[in-house]
Each structure stands twice: as structure tokens, then as C-alpha cells.
Amino acid sequence: MQDLEIYIRDLEAGAVCRWLESHVEQLVLDDRDVSSVTKGSAFYGGDRLKITLYPQAFGKRFTSLIIEGESLPWSSDLDCARSVWQAMGTEVRCSPGEWKEGEAVEDEKWWRLDSRGEQLVVWN
């Protein structure tokens, strides 16, 4: 099973559904309340996807979005983040995929996509 994980700043109610509707089939996700953990599902390429939103990840302003499945609509976290940035216009962050368990967190860089462009930054 593969997964995509991105962090969306100041997520608006309903925004994930509006974005995902054009990328997946049979979407079942009620994201009208983005203040609590929300779980849903969809299909992509005939395979079932698990979709989970975790509010207040990395501080109160970010929501973690995790999409899990055998096949996914995007090939990387960064491709998924680009799609969200284009659709929602709010800051999106994701791991560059290089961090390994045991590495110092203060050295960890994240992709930040916002009105300034795409940059590798330290989270704080």
C-alpha cells in the first residue's frame, strides 16, 4: 500500500471534497467540520482509497491529509501538494521524502508551496 501525506494551512470546510471530486470516483468524505479527525474513502483506478484528515497537525493552523491505496492519483507528496495549491490557493507543505528515522528533526526540510513559490524550508 502507498500513501501520500501533505499539510494544508487554514483548511476551509468542504475544500478537500471540492478538490478531490475531479480526481477520484465514488468519493465519500464529509469535510464540513474540519476541526475533528475526518475519515472517508474513494476509488482510483478501480482501487479503494482511504482518506483521513487530522486537524491541528504541526500547530493549530495545519491539517494533515493522508491518502492511502494501492494506486494513487499522484506519484509523490509534492505532486499532490502542487494540485492542492493550484486548487485551493492556501499554503501546503510536504516532506521531500528524504528524511530517515533517527535524523535530527531540526535539520529536516519541508516543501512549502505558497504565493512565494516552491521552497525547501525548515518547518518553523
d(CA 66, CA 112): 17
Q: Which amino acid is at 66?
A: I
Burial of 44: CB neighbours in 10 Å, binned 0-12, 13-18, 19+ = buried
The predicted structure's pLDDT at residue 98: 54
Helix (H, G, I), strand (E, B) or coil at 110: strand
Domain locations along the chain: 2-122
pTM to 2 decimals?
0.91
**Cell digits for 104?**
535530527
Digit-coded pLDDT (tens) for 31-56 = 999 999 999 999 999 999 999 999 99
6-31: average pLDDT:
97
Helix (H, G, I), strand (E, B) or coil at 24: coil
